[in-house]
Amino acid sequence: MSRINTVIFDLDGTLLYTLTDLLDATNYGLRKTGLPERTLEEVRSFVGNGIQKLMERAVPQGTGEEVQKQALDAFRDYYALHCTDHTEPYDGVLDLVARLDEAGYRLAIVSNKVDSAVKDLNRTFFAEHIHVAIGEREGVRKKPAPDTVYEALKELGSKKEEAVYIGDSDVDLATAANAGLPCISVLWGFRDRPFLVGKGAEHFAEAPDDVLRLIEEFQALLS
């Protein structure tokens, strides 16, 4: 019988508060192309499916493809230099990651953020404990496809029956379902409980300590 020994995390809204830096990069791209800027709450509603989809949602309806591309390129240039200006781990997350590592869990990050940024952010905040971090790159489909999860499991040497997925969004719920993993939905991220319940979420962590308890509950079900 398999035992849970692997935890796969989403990044934005789960481990890291990144919204202010995403807002700044979005509005930089919009300003550079002469388009109206967006609010923090608007950008909150746009995130989850990668930066290309973020900028598609951010530009006014009917914006031409060339202008969209210019805005996206400007976003990428800005974000590459400023992705840690205001980004930081949520309260309690560093302790959670350390406790999981010390307990022997294999840890990974999967994200729809560009792969280089995912790896940079992991090195900045979690390198001591998380050694696999995978983002958007050529040949690997973005979440909610299960590809990044499967790649993480392969790099960790884990089976899906041994893993649990932790995220904050509907995209994460769908990703976990597509990969065949149980999902813990955190409530400190970019989506609230009513929204997540409407998307089928069943297991909620209001604080990082709840993650450990829920993993133990999943484990008990397998025993």
pLDDT tens profile 145-175: 999 999 999 999 999 999 999 999 999 999 9
Give the model's pLDDT for residue 3.
87
Domain made up of 6-17+88-222: CATH architecture: 3-Layer(aba) Sandwich (3.40)
DSSP label of 169: S
Give me 116's structure tokens.
């280089």
Residue-wise DSSP of 65-133 = HHHHHHHHHHHHHHHHHHTTSS-EEPTTHHHHHHHHHHTT-EEEEEEEEEHHHHHHHHHHHTTTT--EE
The domain defined by 19-82 folds into DNA polymerase; domain 1 (1.10.150)
Mean pLDDT, all residues of the chain? 95
Give the model's pLDDT for residue 48.
87
Residues 21, 85: contact at Cβ < 8 Å?
Answer: yes
User: 74-109, pLDDT tens digit by residue?
Assistant: 999 999 899 999 999 999 999 999 999 999 999 999
The pLDDT confidence band at residue 223, using thresholds 50, 70 and 90, is low
Residues 96, 209: contact at Cβ < 8 Å?
Answer: yes
Give the model's pLDDT for residue 140.
87
Q: Which residue intervals of the chain bear CATH 1.10.150.240?
A: 19-82
